Structure 1
């Protein structure tokens, strides 16, 4: 009987430890952050550096948000392109802080799901809201099923269309000969 009790205790302890390990989550979004102030800071910096602002709205609960963040972090060319052309802000949306007033001011981008991306100019004006589902990969895995995740080429193409140069009308004027 004593052996059974010891075995049962060991199983319960290991189960509890495993359960706690599974609950560890990624924390790239900060529910306590002041999104309005963070955006204002990014807009001011973007204005000085001739960049736009890229907002990624999502939460630590969102596997697609984390996957996108990790994809950017692990893809040097994409990360460099974003750093060269945008000031980036992660805007939290979670039960702890939905940033409802900020998102209302931005045109309710959460209507597209998460993550959702916004491009702001150097004055804080919303230039574009992008539904991230348009940036998903179309690749098919060896098992014949669609791979899950975002496509670097689609992301890059989207972002190239919203750089300062891309939206500047002077870029498209015919050059005098």
Structure 2
């Protein structure tokens, strides 16, 4: 009986002590929901994994942007050529740092239907925007569409070099890539009208 009384006294003390401790202790949201830390760690891990996969993908894709190019001169030359060939000019503005820019280029180059549509109807130019060369003068001439729409952004010029359309790229996307029908329609819409 003595042991039972002693044990009850200890239990009572522990219960009161736990209650006082619990009342004076702030419980973090993570402690209330132990799964939340796991979720944060899992989310961070997923984000790191996604960045790693994107970097691996980017490393494999062709890099069509040239930071050393004289874009102003290149576009002047394209306008002269466009007049002779009676084609419009498609400028894809972006940079080799931009995975969506590289994906679009790869998509067009590896989709025969799109490649033929572009080759038959446009002179195509990759206008670089990067820390090495922001091509500020050229971008200013076209209203700095990257500031408004992000990259890639498309600037369509007629055969005389007049800007006739600016296209943001997100409307051409579908899922984790680009829509064949949307891209095809975009290219068809801005071909030179006879």
Instruction: State TM-score, norm by structure 1.
Output: 0.73
Please give the alpha-carbon distance, in whole angstroms, between the structure 2 residues aligned to 1:42 and 1:77.
23
Bigger-Rg structure (1/2): 2
Unaligned runs of 5+ in 2: 1-54
- Which moves more between the two structures, 102-111 or 85-94? 102-111
Please give the alpha-carbon distance, in whole angstroms, between the structure 1 residues aligned to 2:168 and 2:157.
15
Q: Which one of 151, 160, 164 corresponds to residue 188 of structure 2?
A: 160
The superposition leaves residues 67-121 of structure 1 with CA deviations (integer Å, 9 ceiling, x where unpaired) of: 0000001101100100100000100000101111100001111121000001101
Instruction: State TM-score, norm by structure 2.
Output: 0.67
Unaligned runs of 5+ in 1: 1-20, 138-146, 169-177
- Residues matched between the structures, number: 137
Q: How does 1:15-164 map to 2 (within 5 A)?
A: 24=59, 26-110=62-146, 111-137=148-174, 147-164=175-192
Give me the CA root mean square deviation: 1.7
Tell me by how many angstroms 1:27 deviates.
2.4
Please give the alpha-carbon distance, in whole angstroms, between the structure 2 residues aligned to 1:38 and 1:150.
28
Larger fraction in helix:
2
